[in-house]
């Protein structure tokens, strides 16, 4: 992800300000999302970067649940 203020290096290479990961378990119909700043962090601090899927969708403009039934999608988005 790129926020408005981000670093550009070399010949116009834009460095992301954050990375995101969305994980979906189709069997448990559960999801978790992470939004992590682009800087060194320890593995033990990962839980503080847990966000709901809706937050990542809002920030990226992507729809991660477009293949899931709407009722299930609403339940997943409310998690975390």
Q: Tens digits of per-residue pLDDT, 24-71?
A: 888 887 888 999 999 999 989 999 999 988 899 899 998 876 656 666
pLDDT greater than 90 at residue 19: yes
CA distance 20 to 51: 10
pLDDT of residue 40: 93
Q: Cα-Cα-Cα-Cα dihedral of 8, 14, 20, 22, to 10°?
A: 180
What pTM was estimated for this model as a whole? 0.74
The answer to whether 80 and 33 have CB atoms below 8 angstroms apart is yes
pLDDT of residue 76: 56
pLDDT greater than 80 at residue 2: yes
pLDDT of residue 74: 62
């Amino acid at each position: 992800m790129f926020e408005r203020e981000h670093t550009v290096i070399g010949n116009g290479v834009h460095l992301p300000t954050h990375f995101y990961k969305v994980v979906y378990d189709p069997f448990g119909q559960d999801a978790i999302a992470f939004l992590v700043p682009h800087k060194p962090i320890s593995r033990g601090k990962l839980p503080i970067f847990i966000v709901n899927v809706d937050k990542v969708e809002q920030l990226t403009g992507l729809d991660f649940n477009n293949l899931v039934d709407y009722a299930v999608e609403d339940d997943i988005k409310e998690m975390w």
